[in-house]
């Protein structure tokens, strides 16, 4: 009595996504394919697929003969078992307890699949051809779809962080409303354009050479005054003048 159950590895896919799981091979289940309700809800979210409602619910009886909840929804998915791919296969959604998927008796009859309980494998007919698949699918294990429990300390840390962000946003918003937009202000510079007391020549009447050598540094009072400075004579100009003067007058 007891022992390991006859389970086989399989893959459910749709919309380019796939989930790797295991199925119970049960020839005593009088049906086609059965999908657990919780697993079906996880598949709908991950594969982005919607169930199809049945016009007439199917009555269900358990292994003990007691009636169960009628089946009212079916999910159309692609099934792959042992490398054999079957497209658009209907899965009846109901509560299966500890199993996510059950391969029923009618599925074995339709595809002529035999059970090899001794070696825990399925025997496929030689002429059985699987549907071709030219698209690459992103596959994830069944465990990744399970909803993990949220630890209280992690939830408290997230809420603390959100409160800190909210307080910082409020502080910045209040500061902007109180101060308003800031304008940059520069101090006005005062320029002294009075004539030079030595030669009574105004600064703005200086020649460009003298203006370039003017002193623009501020004094001890912080005000900027422009003082005239005498440009340095260029000796090359004097030599040129003397040479031209001597040529004209014969000197």
Q: Answer with the residue of higher pLDDT: 97 or 202.
A: 97
With CA atoms as reference, report the closest residue to 88 among 60, 52, 134: 52
Average pLDDT of span 215-232: 52
Domain that holds residue 57: 7-145
Co-location of 123 and 204 in the same domain: no
Query: Given a cut of 60, is residue 193 above it in pLDDT?
Result: no
Q: Are residues 140 and 205 in the same domain?
A: no
Same domain, 217 and 140: no
Of 105, 50, 60, 112, nearest to 86 by C-alpha is: 112
Q: Kindly state whether residue 152 falls inside one of the protein's structural domains.
A: no
In a domain, 40, yes or no: yes
Domains in the chain, number: 2
The predicted-structure confidence for 100-152, as pLDDT tens digits, reads as follows: 999 999 999 999 999 998 888 999 988 766 677 777 889 999 988 887 777 88
* Global model pTM greater than 0.75: no
Same structural domain for residues 96 and 199? no
User: Does 114 map to a domain?
Assistant: yes
Examine the domain organization and report whether 106 and 205 are in the same domain. Answer: no
Structural domain includes residue 156:
no
Please indicate whether residue 95 or residue 148 has the higher confidence score (pLDDT). 95
Q: What is the pLDDT of residue 201?
A: 44
25/109 same-domain check:
yes
Residue 169 domain-assigned (yes or no): no
Q: Assess if residue 151 is contained within a domain.
A: no
Contacts of 172 (CB under 8 A, 6+ apart): none
Is 157 domain-assigned?
no
Report, as an integer, the average pLDDT of 11-25. 94
81 forms beta bridges with 10, 84
Task: Let me know if residue 242 belongs to a domain.
Answer: no
Q: What is the CATH number of the domain that holds 54?
A: 2.40.70.10
At 202-211, the pLDDT tens digits run 444 445 555 5
Condensed to tens digits (0 to 9), the pLDDT of residues 26-74 reads: 888 888 999 999 999 999 999 999 999 999 888 888 777 788 888 999 9
What was the pLDDT predicted at 25?
92
Tell me the pLDDT tens digit for each residue of 157-184: 999 999 999 999 988 888 777 665 556 5
**pLDDT of the residue at 205:** 46
């Amino acid at each position: 009595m007891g022992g390991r159950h006859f389970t086989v590895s399989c893959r459910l896919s749709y919309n380019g996504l796939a989930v790797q799981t295991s199925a119970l091979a049960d020839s005593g289940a009088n049906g086609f394919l059965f999908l657990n309700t919780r697993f079906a809800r996880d598949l709908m979210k991950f594969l982005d697929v919607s169930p199809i409602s049945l016009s007439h619910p199917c009555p269900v009886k358990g292994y003990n003969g007691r009636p169960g909840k009628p089946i009212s929804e079916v999910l159309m998915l692609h099934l792959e078992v042992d490398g054999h791919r079957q497209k658009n296969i209907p899965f009846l959604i109901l509560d299966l307890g500890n199993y996510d998927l059950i391969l029923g008796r009618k599925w074995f009859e339709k595809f002529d699949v035999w059970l090899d309980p001794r070696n825990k494998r399925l025997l496929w007919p030689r002429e059985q051809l699987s549907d071709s698949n030219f698209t690459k699918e992103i596959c994830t294990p069944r465990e990744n779809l399970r909803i993990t429990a949220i630890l209280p300390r992690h939830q408290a840390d997230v809420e603390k962080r959100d409160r800190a962000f909210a307080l910082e946003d409020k502080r910045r918003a209040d500061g902007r409303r109180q101060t308003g937009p800031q304008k940059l202000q520069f101090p006005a510079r005062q320029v002294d354009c009075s004539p030079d007391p030595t030669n009574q020549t105004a600064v703005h009447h200086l020649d460009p050479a003298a203006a370039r050598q003017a002193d623009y540094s501020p004094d001890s009072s912080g005000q900027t005054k422009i003082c005239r400075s005498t440009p340095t004579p260029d000796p090359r100009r004097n030599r040129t003048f003397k040479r031209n003067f001597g040529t004209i007058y014969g000197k």
